[in-house]
Amino acid sequence: MKKDRFHKRWGDKYGIRPEAVRYAYWLIDEPVEQTEYLEYLTEVTKWWNDKDEDYIPKPIIKECKTAEMRGETEQKYKKYLSDHIRGIIPHNPFFNKQAKGKTKFEQWFFQGRTTGRDLSRVKDIGKFQSYMQQEYIRRYMGSGERPYLLAWYLHHLIDYCHESYKTMKLTCIINRNRDRIKPIDPECYDEVASFIQQHWEELKYDFESY
């Protein structure tokens, strides 16, 4: 995937505020370093919505069937986050050895299954991270969410274009990426897709040059 300076270049070309572009990069490529986002993940009782279960992995749904269970799950998350902050990082080989015997739910959070880099485009795993990151932006940016969502969609679409431009048509890339990230603001996503279509030849040139 392209480095932050590449995303900054195209964020500038789009006209998105630099701080929004940087934040999208941090959230997508370095989520385990974003303590506030991880804290949001722990707040199960606040973000849980039965209508959104299509986005939530079965191991988490299993642990969150009732309000009481969601409260207990939230406490588990908070304990795991505390361990993470103390230096036990998802995908750390030392921790993975100690993870044997933990529940499927524990592995989903603590081994990076919900917090790993660039997971939002990965089938099944990704739809949860994608949903949580977009909702996080909406919740914490409030009325200022638009540039952050634009930057988030632009980052994902550029990465997926870079990954697939030699083997797939642009319309297919756009539609497949839309299906994977499930944009909560379809109009924002369509605006980004239109921008990519307008600058497609230049973007392909940059893929080869940068």
Please report the pLDDT score of residue 132 as a whole number: 86
Contacts of 158 (CB under 8 A, 6+ apart): 2, 6, 7, 10, 196, 203
Please tell me the predicted confidence (pLDDT) of residue 29. Answer: 83
Domain ranges for the chain, please list them: 1-30+144-210, 34-116
From the number of C-beta atoms within 10 Å of its C-beta (0-12, 13-18, 19+), residue 50 rates as exposed
Task: Give the pTM.
Answer: 0.83
Length, in residues, of the chain: 210
pLDDT at 66: 93
What are the C-alpha distances in Å from 10 to residues 52, 81, 104, 200? 32, 34, 39, 12
- pLDDT attached to residue 159: 92
Q: Looking at residue 166, what is its pLDDT?
A: 93
Contacts of residue 106, defined as CB under 8 A and 6 or more positions apart, other chains included, come to 76, 80, 99
Q: Give me the residue label for tokens 């890339």.
A: 173
For residue range 22-64, list pLDDT tens digits in order: 999 988 888 777 888 888 888 989 889 888 888 887 878 888 8
Q: What pLDDT score does 173 carry?
A: 96
Cβ contact 41:168 at 8 Å? no
Q: What is the pLDDT of residue 164?
A: 92
Tell me the one-letter amino acid at 174: I
pLDDT on residue 149: 95
DSSP H stretches of helix in the chain: 4-14, 18-29, 35-42, 44-47, 58-62, 67-85, 93-98, 104-110, 125-141, 145-164, 170-181, 186-198, 200-209
Whole-number Å distance between alpha carbons of 91 and 88: 9
What pLDDT, on the 0 to 100 scale, is given for residue 93? 40
Give the chain's residues under pLDDT 50: 88-97, 113
Nearest CA to 72 out of 44, 46, 53 is that of 44
State how far the Cα of 46 lies from the Cα of 53, in Å rounded to an integer.
14
| pLDDT value of residue 121 | 55
Give dist(CA 154, CA 21) in Å, integer.
Answer: 9
